[in-house]
Structure 1
Amino acid sequence: MFSKADHEAISEAIKSAEMRTSGEIVVIVSSQPHRYGGTALSLAALAALALPFTAVLFGWSPADLLPDWDTLDARSHEQRSLEVLICVQALTFAITLALGWFTPLARAVTPEGLRRDRVHATALTQFRARGLDATQGRTGVLLYVDEPDHVAEVIADTGVFDKVPPEHWADTIEALTQGFRRGQPVAGLTAAIALAGEVLATHFPSKGTADRNDLPDHLIEI
């Protein structure tokens, strides 16, 4: 998503923000679409159950698929109808599952709350994996953006959380998401970094040479 110049601009924004604070800021943007397997399976099962019966209600008959239908006796009609129904359900399940897995369909029908919960869990995983929970003074802050799901998260370590309530990050999130909505992700990220830096500078001012830069000052794309 980002050019070399974009990376440099974001890196400079992080360095500038951290000059005024002992806190650490890490920025991660995920551009990998998440496959909502549970939703895809649910859609496939629902379609497989509903579509054949719906088709029958609208006048469809197994005879439409069986050229020898009129030559069969009543018992054969029942058996062949069941076979056709099972085949149609299996085919419907497979097609719907493929659509849910390989297209944005499953993501589109997944409730927003579930998508946000998934992004939050991923952000927490990245927070720990990148070492933000092991900074000096526990003052790490993660700005995490899931671009395909259009969800942004701010995760703050315990040192920051004790002094800055979660709702205080609303302006940071808004600046970040506005930039992406306008097609200006770099502007959104740099604005959010500046706001996060202001918050950290207020509560955790720079200690000069005593500060230790524990984390990389550049954009991480995953």
Structure 2
Amino acid sequence: MVIKLTPQVQSRIGDAIAAAEAKTSGEIFCVLARQVSSYRDISLGWAAAAALLLPLGLIPFGFDPAWIPGLGDGWQAAHLSSTDVVVGQSLAAYALIQSAVFVTVFMLTSIPGVRRIVTPRSVRRARVRRAAMEQFLAHGLHITRERTGVLIFAALSDHQVEVVADEGIYSKVDHAVWADAVEALVKGMKNNDPAAGFETAIGLCADVLAEHFPPGHSNPNEVEDRLVLI
């Protein structure tokens, strides 16, 4: 499924943030990441493991260099002096098979859908969370006046969503609220309607912010009201 991020979608999300922040002194920021990691190390790991283990399965079947064209002549050595040649051919054939397995598995696990399946969920969750924290800090949500910054973060290729709240608001709110916001955004992404997902998540966060941090006489906009694409 392809998520459509038209200017209208981005404008709707920006308007939703502005409307939400009119009810609170807190700050809400939204980020949509197309990809938080290449996961190249995961593909390399699978390829290396397959290259080491899969060719071993050929040994019980009497692995012979002659199986690979050009590495065997079909004649058996009759003298001990030819043993080195046979061993060399066997090693070359085995190394060639390992290389072919490595390249094949690496290419297969580099396909986005396959890569997502073979990457442990805990690894994807950790990298999305790290990317969300990097955005939280990069955009100064940790230095708002009352420490009430909230980041709503979605990672497209990972199908993961994170909500990060600063300490000023996190400790005062039932954690189920953040779970509801995550669920709302996930539902919008699944329905190919990111604007609706973000709007609902923003609204839920705004409600708890307004409850604990209503707008004061001075309510500066400390963080820009827009969806950031990375």
Aligned amino acid, residue 179 of structure 1: G
Q: CA RMSD in A?
A: 1.8
Contact 1:35 1:107 in 2 (8 A): no
Greater Cα offset, 117-126 or 66-75: 66-75
Distance 1:133 1:94 in 2: 44
Distance 1:163 1:75 in 2: 75
Are residues 1:216 and 2:224 paired? Answer: yes
Are residues 1:172 and 2:175 paired? Answer: no
Aligned to 2:75: 70
Contact 1:29 1:145 in 2 (8 A): yes
Give the Å deviation of 1:52: 1.4
Task: Give the secondary-structure state (helix, strand or coil) at the position aligned to 2:75.
Answer: helix
Contact 2:72 2:89 in 1 (8 A): no
1:77-104 CA-to-partner distances (Å, cap 9, x unmatched) read 2221012112221232233233334544
Alignment: residue pair count? 221
Are residues 1:80 and 2:89 paired? Answer: yes
Give the Å deviation of 1:59: 5.7
Gaps of 5+ in 2: none
1:148 to 157, 161, 179: 157
Percentage of pairs with the same residue: 38
Contact 2:47 2:102 in 1 (8 A): yes
Give the alignment's TM-score, normalised by structure 1.
0.92
Aligned to 2:27: 24
Give the alignment's TM-score, normalised by structure 2.
0.89
Greater Cα offset, 152-161 or 56-65: 56-65
Give the Å deviation of 1:212: 1.1
Equivalences for 1:38-49 in 2 at 5 Å?
38-49=41-52
Contact 2:181 2:205 in 1 (8 A): yes
Aligned to 2:204: 195
Task: Give the secondary-structure state (helix, strand or coil) at the position aligned to 2:32.
Answer: strand
Distance 2:83 2:18 in 1: 80
Are residues 1:52 and 2:60 paired? Answer: no
Task: Give the secondary-structure state (helix, strand or coil) at the position aligned to 1:142.
Answer: strand
Distance 1:14 1:58 in 2: 65
Aligned to 1:111: 120
Aligned to 2:38: 35
Distance 2:89 2:26 in 1: 71
Distance 2:62 2:139 in 1: 59
1:54-83 CA-to-partner distances (Å, cap 9, x unmatched) read 234456532111341416444422221012
Are residues 1:128 and 2:131 paired? Answer: no
Give the Å deviation of 1:7: 1.3
Task: Give the secondary-structure state (helix, strand or coil) at the position aligned to 1:220.
Answer: strand
Give the Å deviation of 1:42: 1.5
Aligned amino acid, residue 5 of structure 1: Q
Contact 1:172 1:195 in 2 (8 A): yes
Q: 1:37 to 1:13 in 2, by over 3 A?
A: same
